[in-house]
Chain A
């Protein structure tokens, strides 16, 4: 696989910046002008996790034409799997000091650990679940949806319903995932103090590593013959069928891959923000992830990463300086980008590339697609 300049630049920037920030945090004294405070490290780590989610959304939306309005669900499921491991790591350091049960279970008067919590005390098992839970859910959902040729906005709406159903489910106390409050007060990860600056720095570097890995994997997929077929499916699905391809298999593969990528993002997100709760399933979160991709440039992997970081940086800035204006800004971003910037920020810098979408569809035929 040959890497173009933009790809190399992305990897160098992402990984290099993470490494430099971590090093400055660790090696300079807090008083130094060069010092990077730990909250910035955590923030940067969060952005990188969002970038993984954006990459996942872009893979299905930009290259397979599946607009998922429920991708945050996979992100949150990965996060919950990690959260369960971190809860088990608390041991008897919880408020109630119960060595076997997380605090919220003691609070609910539960006597023993539910069966589905077993195994999460092992890091390896938890990491397996980070991959398996979103992957299996995506496989079942995708198999049903793609096989019956649910496409376009219909698919978008049911992905939204999926994350909405999960949101309601995780709000329930008797689900055994901490209900409304979710899971928090984590103490340690793999034996390291989760609050320590060194742990935070390490998590940032690991996030950068995973993001670069996902980026390379996504590039490999998109650049392969598989990827070309995927784009063919995106633009003219029926034509690929008459060539003997099964679009549903192609969509399913990329859908599951994307869900797993989102899940890994979520798993890295939880130790860095220190909490996971059902609000991560809110439909609005999934749609926000879509706008990151749209801002950066749909169908360009670099754009997804750039968009996630740009928009979230904007969000951090706005919510601290002009909190009441953030929703206006976000809303305006949705509108302006779709109207005036269909190729996103990356599109501004790049002449038309053969991998990019063809947004111009004659009105009549598309109207038929919906109403017909």
Chain B
């Protein structure tokens, strides 16, 4: 693939907290339209990597590029989100007092400035898009319920729905199936593959069955840097990987 197709490019990214190296010269390249699974033991730096990409944490050194020429280390969270990078958190974080419908409405791509939202009225187009996402995430029946009243799985799905509403180029998904039933997990894998048809996705996950089900290129992180990279079968046979992660 040519360089023009690179969507996300991390090079030599290092983050230290009080002497502890959360990321250690991490390098990662994600192609346009790719889905990537990132695995690794606890403390390997998965969440910190997400933080760096979304602007929550500034790296001490290293390059983080989005597309051809956007340096993400210079931008803050809202700017990065507006570029088209969406993030789903490990713990589902939705706006609990709001209805499912409102949650999606707030997530819909559009003007984010107060002077717009103060006078904004819901348009027919917005209504159509929300209904579509409700359909995709199977939340149509609960659309008028407060998000606080949803089940755990429904909240996870609502958050994925909110990601979709943002219409991002790249989705960062942190442990999407944690706490889900097997059936829900399966459906989530289907959903993510569906999303991947139009967008790039990075999935951080512990659940090996789920990663296998995704059937994509896997990056194994350990102690802040990449330990191995490749198809799941290849990676899971790697003795280094077995030692630090699968073996335990």
Contacts and interface: CB of A to CB of B under 8 A. Distances in A.
Interface of A: 221, 224-226, 228-229, 231-232, 235-236, 238-246, 249-250, 253, 354-358
Nearest to A224: B118
A299 B148 CA distance: 17
A250 B97 CA distance: 18
A358 B94 CA distance: 13
B96 interface: yes
The CB with the most chain B CB atoms within 10 A, among A224, A244, A355, A357, is that of A244
Nearest to B168: A244
A236 B82 CA distance: 18
Given A224-B119, A225-B105, A358-B96, A249 B166 contact: no
A189 B94 CA distance: 52
A242 B51 CA distance: 11
A231 B94 CA distance: 12
29 contacts: A224-B118, A225-B106, A226-B114, A226-B117, A228-B102, A231-B95, A231-B97, A235-B96, A235-B97, A238-B77, A238-B93, A239-B93, A239-B95, A241-B77, A241-B78, A242-B54, A242-B77, A242-B86, A243-B81, A243-B166, A244-B82, A244-B112, A244-B166, A245-B78, A245-B106, A354-B97, A354-B98, A354-B146, A358-B96
A243 B93 CA distance: 11
Nearest to B166: A243
Interface in B54-101: 54, 56, 76-78, 81-82, 86-87, 89, 93-99
Given A244-B81, A244-B112, A245-B112, A236 B54 contact: no
Contacts of A356: 97
B237 to A, nearest CB: 36
B199 to A, nearest CB: 16
Contacts, number: 80
Interface of B: 54, 56, 76-78, 81-82, 86-87, 89, 93-99, 102, 105-107, 112-114, 117-120, 146, 148, 162, 166
B125 to A, nearest CB: 15
A294 B174 CA distance: 38
Nearest to B85: A242
Contacts of B114: 226, 249-250, 253
Contacts of A250: 114
Given A231-B98, A355-B97, A358-B96, A242 B117 contact: no
B81 A241 contact: yes
A52 to B, nearest CB: 21
List the 10 closest pairs (A to B, CB-CB), nearest first.
Answer: A244-B81, A241-B77, A226-B118, A226-B117, A244-B82, A225-B117, A232-B95, A225-B120, A253-B114, A239-B93
Contacts of A357: 97
A226 B106 CA distance: 9
Contacts of B146: 354
A176 B238 CA distance: 79
